[in-house]
Amino acid sequence: MNLVLVGLSHKTAPVHIRERLHFPEPQLPQALELLRTRYEVRESMILSTCNRVEVLAQTAESPDGVHQLRDFICSFHKVPYDSLRDFLYDFTQLDAVRHVFRVAASLDSMVLGEPQILGQVKTAFTTAQNAGAIGATLSQLMNRAFFVAKRVRSETTIASSAVSISYAAVELAKKIFNDLKGKTVMILGAGKMSELAAKHLSGAGVSKVLVWNRTYQRAVELAELFKGEAIQTEDLFRHIERADIIISSTGSPAFILNKADGERMIHLRKNRPVFIIDIAVPRDVDPEINKVNNVFLYDIDDLRNVIDANLRQRQREAQSAEEIVRQEVDLFLEYARARDATPAIVMLREHWEAVRKEELARSRKRLGSLTSEQEAVIESLTQSLVNKMLHQPISELKRLSRQTLNPDEVAIIKRIFGLKD
C-alpha cells in the first residue's frame, strides 16, 4: 500500500483558487487516464466539489508520489506550482487513510456533519471505477470509508440538527405542527433563501406550496418548481389565510404583514396556528404580530440562535465521530499490513510445495512400486518437513504484518528462500 493524496479545500484556498483547479465531470475519465499513463499511478480517483479538489492515488513504491500528483494537478490545469504552493496539502499512507475517512464522514466539511459530501465521494468513486482507475487497494479503502461514514451517522447525532437557515425553518415548523403532512406553505418573495426553505419544507411533507411575488411571472416560475400555485400580486390577502406556514423574504422597505393582518388570519383560520418565518432584512413582518394568539413569528436572528446551538451540539458529537475514525484507521492499517505480507507467505508456500513435489517425483523412480499406504506416509512426511521448515519465516512475516511492514525485511526473507517477485 503506497497511498498519496494531494489537494486543497475551503480551509486552505479561497474560491477563486478552487475554481481554477476544478475538474469538470466530463473531463474526469481523461484526467484519470492521464494519471495512469504519464505517472507511476496504479489506482486513482478525483474528488472535485465547490469546496475541495483532491487527487487520491496508489502509486509505485517510490518516494516522489506527492511530487507526481502535484505535477499532474498543475499540468492538467496549466497552473504553475509556485502559485499553488501555499494552498495545496498532501497526505501519505496512514494520514491519507485518516483524511479520506474524515472527509467521507463530513468531519472536514465547511458545515460539520452535512450529508452532501458522502454522496459526492461516492459519485467520484463510481466515476473512477467506470474509468477503470480503481483496483483492490482503493476499492477496499473507499468501501471502508463509506462504512465509517455510516457508523458516524448511526452512532452519533452529528447530522441530526439544523445548521442552515432553511433547515432551521423546517426544524421549527416541525416543533409547532409535529407533522407537516397536509400543511400548506406560502412563499412571499421569490428569493433564493425562500426557495431553499420551501424546498426543504416540501421534502418534509407539506402538501401545497403557494407563491406570491411582486413580479407575477417570477411567482409562476417558482411555483412550477414545487408543482405549486402562483398567487396574483393583488390577491395576497385573498389567499394568505390558506397558509399554515409563511416564508417571507421580499426586500420590501416596509412591513408586508402587521398585527391586524395576523388577527384577521387567525379569525379566518378559526384559531388554527400559523407559523411565519421572516428571513428578510429589513424585516417583512411587524414583530407585534407575535402578540396574536396562535401566530408564531421567527426572524433571521431567531433562526441563527437555533443554528448556533445546533453547531455547538455537532461539535460535541464530532469528538465521538473522531474516535470512530481513529478506531477504523487502526483496523484498516491492520488489514493493509496483513495484505502486504500475504503475497510473500503465499509465494513461500507455493515455491516450496513445488520443490517438494519435484523431489518426490524424482525419488519415486528409485523407490519403485509403492502401496497406497506407503505413498500416503511419504506424502505426509514431506509435507510435514516443508511445514516445519516454513514455520519460522511465515511466523516472522506475520509478526512483521502486525507492525509497520518493512519492505527490506520482506525482501531479505524472499532472497534467503530463493523467491522472485
Residue 139: which CATH number? 3.30.460.30
- Residue 395 φ/ψ, nearest 5 degrees: -60, -40
Please give the backbone phi and psi of residue 5, each rounded to the nearest 5 degrees, phi first: -135, 130
Residues 110-144 have pLDDT tens digits of 777 878 889 999 999 999 999 999 998 999 999 99
Same domain, 25 and 141: yes
Q: What is the DSSP string of 275-322?
A: EEEE--SS-SB-GGGGGSTTEEEEEHHHHHHHHHHHHHHHHHHHHHHH
Domains of the chain: total: 3
pLDDT at 388: 85
d(CA 297, CA 293): 11
| SS3 label, residue 13 | coil
Query: Would you name the residues annotated as active-site residues?
Result: 50
d(CA 290, CA 258): 10
213 grid coordinates: 411575488
323, part of any domain: no
Among the three residues 160, 190, 215, which one is the final residue of a domain in this structure?
160
Quick: pLDDT tens for 195-233.
Answer: 877 788 888 888 899 999 999 999 999 899 888 999 999
Can you tell me the distance from the alpha carbon of 197 to that of 328, in angstroms, rounded to the nearest whole number?
A: 36
Question: Which domain does 247 fall in, by range?
Answer: 165-307
- What would the pLDDT profile of 164-200 be if each residue is shown by its tens digit? 676 777 778 888 888 888 899 999 997 777 787 778 8
Residue 224 forms part of a structural domain? yes
Same domain for 170 and 110? no
13 shares its domain with 26: yes
Same domain, yes or no: 81 and 188 = no
| Predicted confidence band of residue 410 (pLDDT cuts 50, 70, 90) | low
Same domain for 26 and 154: yes
**Is the residue at 312 inside a domain?**
no
This prediction's pTM: 0.61
180, 284: one domain: yes
Of 127, 160, 193, the last residue of a domain is 160
